[in-house]
Amino acid sequence: MEENKLEIDQILSKILKHSESQLLKKESFVTDDGKPNTESIKKLFRLIDINNNNRISRTELEQQIKKIKFEELKPNYDDVVKEFFNYFDTDGKNTLDEENFVYGLERWLYKAIHVANSSDKTKTIDEYDWIVWEKKVIHGDSFLWAFVKCVFEIVLGIVILTFLGGPLTTSILQLSYTMRVPSFSISFVIVPLAMNTRTAIEALFPAGKKSENSASLTFSEIYGGVVMNNLSGLTILLAIVYSKDLQWDFSTEVLTVLVVCAIVGILGCSSSKYPFWTCIIAFLLYPISLGLFIYDKLVLRWN
């Protein structure tokens, strides 16, 4: 695991999130009306103050911090404690009393409440934790390296599809003949359902337990995967048709894919979160795309 220096926002968001779920038994540090919950802060102080002398030492704080998972990063606990005390220890006594602890956390919580701007104020810590750690993950890696890695994975995928395309086509045709089902239904209905049902179920069932931002991120990954799969498939198709000088007979399929990608793209660009009504559109996209394909083929007789 990578060792990283953490900022106070990353440290406190993880400490408070861990405390809400593990120590305070789902009790929030933010009240329903969007203010710091002083009683919860004092309760956390007493839980960290193991020897009950009304002061938190560096050793006591480190014992608590070692129980917390900081995403995929492995922090230097001495640095984390030092950063924590730099923020809270205003009197320079190298220990924290309850007054300094409460004042420091309330000051930080007001900032988190303002930045997260959550509709459910009791979910502020979850929302703010997602914000500060998303920034850490996105900007932690080199953009150039991420770009090179993406290009390499796309090229690798094209190579794999090139070698596996023939056997896969043969298998689909054999399955279509055995089941007496059109090959189109196998390729665009049965195979996608078989491949993506598990992913969709794993994403949907835990979504109710996640924060609004986390759930939106999960669904955006699914929609992003749909768009990228379609675009990469189109790219490969166009490359094969061009290189082999084949007859173009895919206008209907391409139109259907582009319509789906356009709708998903508009949804993604219009909002940073996916509201509830977008799930209705997502469920309708599949039958709509099939209906559009059938209409173009049978009614308009496009090739």
In a domain, 49, yes or no: yes
Range of the domain at 112: 8-139
SS3 269: helix
pLDDT at 84: 86
d(CA 253, CA 240) in angstroms, rounded, equals 15
Measured in degrees and rounded to the nearest 5, phi and psi for residue 120 equal: -100, 100
Last residue of a domain, one of 114, 139, 164: 139
Tell me, yes or no, whether 229 lies in a domain: yes
Q: Are residues 214 and 124 part of one domain?
A: no
Whether 70 and 165 have beta carbons less than 8 Å apart is answered as no
The single-letter code of the amino acid at 126 is D
Domain count, the chain: 2
**pLDDT top residue among 152 and 196:** 152
288 and 227 inside one domain: yes
For the record, the structure tokens of 255 come out as 């139109």
Q: Which residue has the higher pLDDT, 143 or 197?
A: 197
> Could you report the per-residue pLDDT of 4-39, keeping only the tens digit for each?
566 787 788 888 888 877 777 767 888 888 888 899
Q: Could you tell me if 123 and 221 lie in one domain?
A: no
Confirm whether 219 is domain-assigned: yes
Query: Quick one: 33 and 105 in the same domain?
Result: yes
In a domain, 161, yes or no: no
- Is position 170 within any domain? no
HSE, CB side, 13 Å, CA atoms: give it for residue 128. 28
| CATH number of domain containing 48 | 1.10.238.10
Residue pLDDT, tens place only, 218-251 = 666 667 766 677 677 777 777 777 777 777 777 7
Question: Considering the domain boundaries, does residue 145 fall inside one?
Answer: no
Query: Is residue 79 domain-resident?
Result: yes
73 SS3 class: strand
pLDDT in tens, 151-173: 888 788 777 877 776 777 777 77
In a shared domain, residues 132 and 33: yes
Q: What is the mean pLDDT of residues 188-195?
A: 70
| Rounded Cα distance, 159 and 161, in Å | 5
Residue 213: closest CA among 272, 264, 270: 272
Q: How is residue 117 written in tokens?
A: 């701007």
Task: Answer yes or no: do 193 and 271 share one domain.
Answer: yes
Do 133 and 69 share a structural domain? yes
Tell me if the pTM is above 0.85.
no
| 36 and 93, same domain (yes or no) | yes
Q: Which residues pair with 56 in a beta bridge?
A: 96
Q: Note whether residue 213 is domain-resident.
A: yes
284-302 pLDDT tens trace: 887 888 888 888 878 877 7
Structure tokens given for 85: 């005390």
Q: Are residues 91 and 29 in the same domain?
A: yes
Residue 72 or residue 77, greater confidence: 77
Helix (H), strand (E) at residue 55: strand 55-56
